[in-house]
Structure 1
Amino acid sequence: MGKPRSGTVGRRFTILYAAGFLGSAIVLLALTYLMSGGGQVTSVAPEQPPAGRSGLAAAEQQIRVLERQLSDVHAQQNHQLLVGSLIALVVMVGFSLLLGRVLAGRVLRPLRLITAATRRISAENLHQRLAVAGPVDEVKELADTVDSLLERLEVSFVAQRRFVGNAAHELRTPLATMRASLDVAVAKPEPAAQTIALAGRLRTELDRVDHLLEGFLVLARAQHGTLADRTRVSLGELAREALTVRAADIAAKTLTVDEEARANAWTRGSPALLSRMVENMVDNAIVHNQGGGWIRISTEHDDIEARLVVETGGRVLDQGQVDRLTEPFERLGADRTGPEGSSGLGLTIVAAIVAAHGGRLALLARPEGGLRVVAALPPAAGSQEGTP
């Protein structure tokens, strides 16, 4: 989505107000000009009649002279009035634009405050309200409507978090009971071979269900929870820890690991969620890799982002399908379904954790084959290489 255009309504209001004031000024000046025929005329001293003419002829000549002088005075006054009206009109143009902008700013100020307050409200502070004071008008009605919407969203988020938490506890109880029943059945003297085999298969399925349930909980926390435990975390250290934990799986697939994770990629966030994010990225690179393949893990850091990059080789992938890998249970064909323990939520959880920390996740199909996953997060303020 592109950046919204700013000031469009303000410009329209400014032009509207300016046009109204300017139109009124034009009408007023036109009426003044039309009614200016009754202006005062300066007195003109009569000329002396020419010598040798009769008194009546001299009077008529004097009247004609006075009429010409009066007409010249009227023309001069009309010209001065026209010039003055044009100057006043130019002044009114500038004054109308200035006054229109001021009035438009005052009219739109409550809307700007509502917009700024709405932008500050997120999933972490849905309890906040606009609480616009003032007369009951269209602006206050809009603010009250937004407050009502935020209240409904808050109730929905709280109910969803409560449901996820309660469902997790309720589901883990029967899982624990099933595990205990299997242990009792296997612990009996001389259990049948079929019982032991069935118990093994059931334990495997229970582990997968437990892993899936844990994934749902982490996903719910990342999407709708609060990050109250924010602290400085090194992405490089988390990557090395994840590789150490999965060393046996890497050896089982004879994967070659090129690790260039440095300790300078620091970010700020929940250590538990960020650790799970890195673990899922490493797990995805191991589980969906071919035997004898390779993994490259590196970190990058600048003033804008701290990045963790995980690359794998393999066949050439379709970028359109890769873009859908952050959707739950989305996979690239049967060859990427993975063995036991793959819940289909790995990259979905990664995307949710990255979004919860204000970062971005990029999934890129490498032209030469394989996948490149980049988790870019805001850097920790004042981070320096090698400092915790």
Structure 2
Amino acid sequence: MPSTTPTIVRAAAALLPGRPAGELAGPVEIEVRDGRIVDVRSGSDPGDGTVAAPGFVDLQVNGVDDVDVAIADGADWDRVDGLLAATGVTAWLPTLVTQRLERYGPALERIATASARGGPRPTVLGAHLEGPFLGQHTGAHDPRRVLPIDLDWLAELPEVVALVTIGAEQHDAVAATEALAARGTVVSIGHSGATSARADEVFDAGATMVTHLFNAMGPLHQREPGVAGAALADDRVVAGLIADLVHVHPALLRTAFRTKGADRIALVTDAVAWRAGHLAAADVTLVDGAPRLADGTIAGSALAMDVAVRNVVGAAGVPLADALTAASTTPADVLGDRSRGRIEVGARADLVVLDRADLALRRTIVAGEVAWEG
């Protein structure tokens, strides 16, 4: 149980709500009691060059290091907890890629069990189904397992499912989106070659996100902007973005932030169990900074969220405040979770403390308790 003794987190700067875009506040003192933030006030500069931010929220994690979340069980989850906390992640969505329909049920049961655990560990906020109802750009997903949308199957999904990626070109994409949105499930367009007009229809039906902007979707063409163009132009839509500097060129990372703003960009890792050498039934090998299939197709990433923050700041020139927002506040808002992703009174005391000079992670705090310290 969280301690009832108040804890003070001090930092030279912090990401606070209400600040001008791209700016940090500080110095600050954040008072924590019973796992919640009870006061945020100006403080004296601790002189340690630290930055405090909300804990990172990752909406797309297929695996970490050598643990595949599709088959994780027992102690595997404890290992993932430690690995994620060491990268600043305090909440996340285990993500299941395309596979046989009958395999989703047991995997979702294991995720539901993992989400019910207590303790100072990154919180499992639900599952992300990245498939099997994708569009034509299957990427590393097995095209033999990509299926037409089954509305009855979707209607029977357990409550643990928080986010579903679908191809907008699918015949029943609008109906599926309306049904999922009505039950409170986030819908994201991904792995799709749909036209911008079709993407707009699915956004109008309630889709609020695109899965890994620019990747596994049609090109941004001047006469047919496709899903990417539709997402960039629609203020309702949050764009997931993989900032490993392999999936997306730094110039496009910068363009996405400038076009959408940090409140409509959610940094994701799309991490896989690259060290285990597999993604679902496919073999993967780390080549040139990313896991790949034998034919060279990129199959997720080996990215960590703290590295993603450093990459968009260092390589893409994004202001630190915007990078931190995209790693914490925006993904929490995608899920409608106002208790996370912000440093304000009443919010969960999920925090990260970084070194301002090199953005190295110093400490990860979950519900007021230190989950990792370097």
> TM-score range, shorter-chain basis?
under 0.3
| TM-score, length basis structure 1 | 0.19
Decide which structure has greater helix share.
1
Give the structure, 1 or 2, with the largest relative contact order (CA under 8 Å, sep 6 or more). Answer: 2
| TM-score, length basis structure 2 | 0.20
